A and B are shown apart, each in its own frame.
Chain A
Amino acid sequence: MAPAPQGFRQSMAWLHTWCGLVCGWLLCAIFLTGTLSVFREPITRWMEARPSAATVPGAAGGASDAALQAAAGHLAAHGAGARFWRIELPREPGDALRLAWPPAAGARGGPQTAALDPASGALLPAPWGRRTEGGRHFMTFHYTLHGGVPGYWLVGWLSVGMLVALVSGVVVHRRIFADFFTFRPAKGQRSWLDAHNATAVLALPFLFMIVYTGLAIFYTSYLPWPLRAVYGADGAAHGRFQQELTHQSPPMRRARSGTAAPLHGLAPLLAQAQALTGQPPRLVVVEQPGDAAMVVRIHTRASGDPRTLHQAVGSVAFDGVDGAVLQVQRPLAGATPASAQAHGVMAALHLAHFGGWTIKWLYFFSGLAGTAMMATGTILFGIKRRRKVGKEAGPATPWAYRAAEALNVAALAGTAVACIAYLWCNRLLPADLPGREAWEIRGFLCAWLAAALHAACRPAARAWAEQLSAAAVLCLALPLLNQWTTGQQAWRHALAGDWQQAGVELVALGFGVALAWGAWQVRRALRKGIPG
């Protein structure tokens, strides 16, 4: 690491190299998992591999009266004394009515769940599909690295590091527009630089947007100081701020009264919530269930208007005994002032909650371009250093270069291996294994660790070839694994019109082909003895 040189452009070049390298390894993993998170719902559907339940057309919330009554009955019988009950309504045709409630006070264990047929209300066999974190795992890893609060802050620091690397990169590449049209393939170092420039310029607006909105989503956590300066540091300060910003009162809460009372019928409340908000119901939460003070809160789903960027969702709170409307949070855009929508728009921009599947695919490919930009950047660092033996880190220089190359492999190929290994764990772990969702995530982390150890032990080029090949084989064999473990096939999903589940396997096959091509290139270069 040479001392920061004099001169603005040189100092920016130095900063771009080192900030990009140090932040780039973890950012690669964050970017790849973030790119996969775009399709977290299809991934979750594929991983849960639930059989198809009956469909109830026409009913508000997609469940029949009988099914809703059965749900309330099941919760009253099994969830008495729970703090709340949760009824998730069917989202897609074939989804079940899903119930969840926390264990009674004092009891141990995770949330209890059950699945009902949305037409007849019959209890479906448990476990209904595979219990899994599904695509949410990629999202959680994307913004916390599964490291809790320290991981969350680390991702925040890395994001600012990425902003710094982007700005300094733009300063360094003066000929940024001309560079975009320059590509010299199969020329070693020049090709890597051209690929780095092309992917960076192509995705530059997306990259600035995605990293800035990513920070902005959590603005009151990452940067709470302006809020504290104006509203004070007490626990209620955030609530006062939100109320002034949105002009909406916070969700009302009621204390438990202690007298028992029966639950009002849910079907008329669902229809009323749909009429009041203009959006279809998504989720029913019964607070203080079984008590005279119980509240039924019905959350709605954005109706999917493609012309608006930010779609607020509404909710209606009913008295759980007599069904009176207690509070309506309307989703109408005109009802909230413009500045209150700023955060929602930023979140929608980051999470691709607009524009439907077209925008999701655009985000997916932009995310891949961003990952490729970081990958080519960190690889370029190694190739430049391999040519001229420097003494940047004094006597430790060869060791430092070796570590950088191993980390390159672990950050890129290793993350790919871990992501596909996660899907394999989902299919290989028994469906009724207790705590299987946690074992799937352990599988992901173990695969990543194993890839890092492998990269540290093997020569860099061989580690590249072997890990890319491993990831390619796992991707290409995924449909076979699925057929063998669940009997489901991508082409049957496609024929049934379920492109979400079919898409997961088709994209895995696409990744498999790309990874196999990469592995073949590295092996060819190895045989010819071309460095890089």
Chain B
Amino acid sequence: MKRALVTALFALLALLPRRALAAPIHLWHAYRDDELAALVAILAQWKGEPVDAVSLPYDAYNAKLAAAIPLGDGPDLFIAEHKYLGDFRYRKLVAPVGDALEPGVFSAPALAAVRDGEVAWAVPLSNKCVALYVNTDLVSRVPGDLEGMVDLVGTIRSPSGAAVVPLAFETRNAYYVAAIFSAFGGALLDDQDRFGLVGPAAVRAIELDRWLIEKHAAPEDADGALVTNLFGSGQAAFAISGPWLAASLGGKNLHYRVEQLPIVRATGLPMRPLLGVESVMFSPTGAARAEVRALARLLASPEAALIRARYGTPSARSDVVMPAGDVRAFAEQALTAIPMPSSRAMSAAWDPANRAIRKVLRRDVDTEVALAEAKHRYDDVRRPLPEGTSPLPALLLLGILGLWGAFRWTQIVRAPGFGAELRRSAPAYAYVTHAVIAVGVLVIVPLVLGAATSLTAGNGDERRYVGLANFVSILTARGGPLLTTGSFYLVLLVTVFWTVCNVAFHVGIGLALALVLSRPTLRLRAVYRVLLIIPWAVPSYVTALAWKGMFHRQFGAVTALLYWLDRTLGLDLQPIDWFARFSTAFAANLATNVWLGFPFMMVVTLGALTAVPEDVLEAAKVDGATRWQRLRLVTLPMIRPTLMPAVTLGAIWTFNMFNVVFLVSGGDPDGTTDILVSEAYRWAFTRENQYGYAAAYAVLIFLMLFGVTRLGARTARLRAQAEAT
């Protein structure tokens, strides 16, 4: 009786909602350093329910939200950039903020960023955009317009005498090019979610960017680290960057101020940066609690804004005066900034835009062509889901197969002697069962589920059965020409070429090394064997990342080797941007995968070589064969039956070698070095989760490999039969 009571009590406790017991407010954020200090200071002013503030790593933030909130394990409110609102709303992670938003106190762009029509989905906290940094040690006035930067080339000297580049910004990043584009009246995405970086305005904007680089007014190939470096070391007079740059200038002996972005002479319009609004959002459960909304009001209050301003973050409120200096300048710039579109379509626009910009800057293609391609890419990703069709035909087919299977099964079972045979084999089944279960669960079930997924399109609420529509779409290259970028056939061609090259090198090098290692006179054979196994033993992604580093244009080991060769041999070698062209990017991938894969072939060949009898080789020697002839006419034909399965395996593994292609070249340049598996990955995980499409790719890969190996096996069997007769 006592035991039952205790159990009942525990059950009751377990069943009570956690919140009802303790009622703290759960707040999630991804702040660190200064921003975290500001938040702590703000929360110290809260006089309500206890607040449980959890800091999450930035990289996993969105994923954790998406995983936890639908299960009810997420926060009541969380702080995130407004640009994710589209995605959050789609996944039902947020709810309207209701009375948490004070009317009339926020700047117009900030309000526009969080509102959809009349409904506000977040409470703005702070504005983040880029502005113009001015190194006052080097220059005293800002040029009247962006083009004026070119006039400053060569005129500014740093105290140490080094040349100074007028303007440092991330010249190939669409985020920054968007600011130039805005001065030509354009936007990356129009309000109908159509791709905006096309047309004459876009052409002029990108070509202005290129012109600045080619006139040495801005650096080429600049990433954030380089910009910070250049401005921070006094090698750039101006920089376009955000508050983060100020944070890294802290300890330096540099005098600067922040100004508004200049106008563009060609149109007379100012550059308008993209605006990111950091805001408070509510989960559906949190939005219902009054105290949660009150906390949000505190977080967005003027007092909080001032605290944040002390730490260098401009507020989104229009009724608070920011302290003079950087913060006020950023806040002013934010008033003319364009809110980043928060629709889900935006995430699909970055990749095509960035690629197009890079191509144009490298002068690989005409600007119009590059932009048209970018738009095509964007449309590709954003194409509407196919109509759902009825699964009836497929179910009918399955049903018929099932009936036929059942019929055959009854036939087998009814055959005489079946029962007795089954009983005799029972011990065998006992041995085999667990293996069957394991293989079934780990291999068969995922295979079947993957194939089933390939028959669907869309995800979440929009998932629907579409039959073979995905396959048709892939195989007809989505209606475009069969060999454009991203088309299945082009990628297939690249994959086949990739496989052939790799296997050729694997077998060639593996065979050569095995022949060397099998000479009885080689000393330290055991040592060499161990050394040569190491490439295979190291996990492939470690190798891939290491090699990628080695191919870095500035700091890589391969580049250093080229420099050394250049100096010692007096060759006129240019530093190679390995991932700028297909040939060199492919070569980099190839080098990495060959390094990874030759030990396997070497080991298999070594084993096969031990089966070649010594006396047959001696007979060939006596018959008059040179070493090369012995290799070609005796050794190789004798090891071929053993090598064939290994080559088949190697080919299949190479065909599907995701790690190397994804991590080394990442598909660069422009997706041309992508193979089928990495292309499938992108469809699943970078292009709005089109799992069905990616699954269809996977099924196609499977069918192709299956077909080829069966063909190979059949040819081998026919050949063996022919020999026997």
To the question of whether A and B form a pair in one complex, the answer is no
Binding site for A on B (CB under 8 A): none
